[in-house]
Amino acid sequence: MLKLSFAILALCVSSVFSTPVKKRALAAIYSSCIKDNDVALTFDDGPYIYEQDISDTLTQYGAKGTFFVNGDNWACIYDPDMASQVVHAYNAGHQFGSHTWQHQDLSTLSWDNVHDQMWRTEQALQKIIGVSPAFMRPPYGNYNDNVRAAAANRNQSLVLWDFDSGDSTGSSVSQSEQAYTNLLNTWPDNILPLNHETYETTAHDILPWLLQQLNDRGYNMVTLATCLGKSPYKKEGTTYQPSPRDNSWVCGSTNSK
């Protein structure tokens, strides 16, 4: 009898401890392209005044790029000039991802505030170009499980990079070009470089030089989604349509949702 009690007790204890704890799903994190010979040029922190120039230079070289935009950082995404640059680049076939609303360090924010930073930028892209991004690049590359769970909840993957041009950390044009040259001389299979669309030198000096170098070496300059073999935008059974401008197209405290 005692033996049986122990057996029952053991069974109960083991069943309690073997009950799987329901884990939150965590978003996938990509930091490199998957396909050989692909280069996915990414441009963060816009939209800003050079976005249309970057889009046109990419197009001139037969290249596609990816813009990870904020809503309210260097400029407000709803400003008529900014919104029209986003439309221009989107219509040229470039990809848009989210860099969240105000470029805050998501790893320091609460669950609700992480969602708020994500949601506002997604809503802006839905209104301006009628898409909801499937990829989010966390500002500063900083994330934790809270951020990954929030992104998974929103059907998004996280994207980092495997090469930093240094444009946002003080590199001169020649230093950035030398860093790219050093990288290219190793003949990498593919590259996922971080650039920032907010620097004139990135838009007007480094980019045309880089595109020529990549062309000469036979790389395909593609969107992030293409180099990962994934869809660039969420498919939630909803087809978003760009909306006409209304009084919700503002940044700041009045843009409450």
Contacting residues toward Zn ion, per CB under 5 A: 44-45, 139
Task: Select 63 or 69, whichever has its Cβ closest to Zn ion.
Answer: 69
Q: Could you tell me the smallest distance in angstroms from the CB atom of residue 243 to Zn ion?
A: 26
Task: Select 65 or 139, whichever has its Cβ closest to Zn ion.
Answer: 139
Q: Indicate the length of the chain as a whole number.
A: 257
Q: Could you tell me the smallest distance in angstroms from the CB atom of residue 103 to Zn ion?
A: 6
Task: Select 118 or 219, whichever has its Cβ closest to Zn ion.
Answer: 118
Nearest to 87 by CA among 119, 40, 34, 47: 47
At position 17, the amino acid (one-letter code) is F
Q: Could you tell me the smallest distance in angstroms from the CB atom of residue 99 to Zn ion?
A: 6
Q: Does the CA dihedral 134-139-142-144 come out positive or negative?
A: negative
Nearest to 153 by CA among 176, 128, 119: 119
DSSP string, 50-65: THHHHHHHHHHTT--E
* Neighbour count for residue 44 (Cβ, 10 Å): 23
C-alpha 117/C-alpha 223 separation (Å) is: 24
Strand-pairing partners, residue 196, are 44
Q: Look up residue 212 and give its two tokens.
A: 């020529």
Task: Select 100 or 220, whichever has its Cβ closest to Zn ion.
Answer: 100
Q: Could you tell me the smallest distance in angstroms from the CB atom of residue 32 to Zn ion?
A: 19
The residue number with the shortest CB distance to Zn ion is: 44
C-alpha 170/C-alpha 175 separation (Å) is: 9
Task: Select 46 or 219, whichever has its Cβ closest to Zn ion.
Answer: 46
Q: Is the peptide bond before 133 cis (omega within 30 degrees of 0)?
A: no
Q: Could you tell me the smallest distance in angstroms from the CB atom of residue 229 to Zn ion?
A: 25
Task: Select 73 or 126, whichever has its Cβ closest to Zn ion.
Answer: 73
Q: Could you tell me the smallest distance in angstroms from the CB atom of residue 108 to Zn ion?
A: 15
* Residue matched to tokens 């593609």: 222
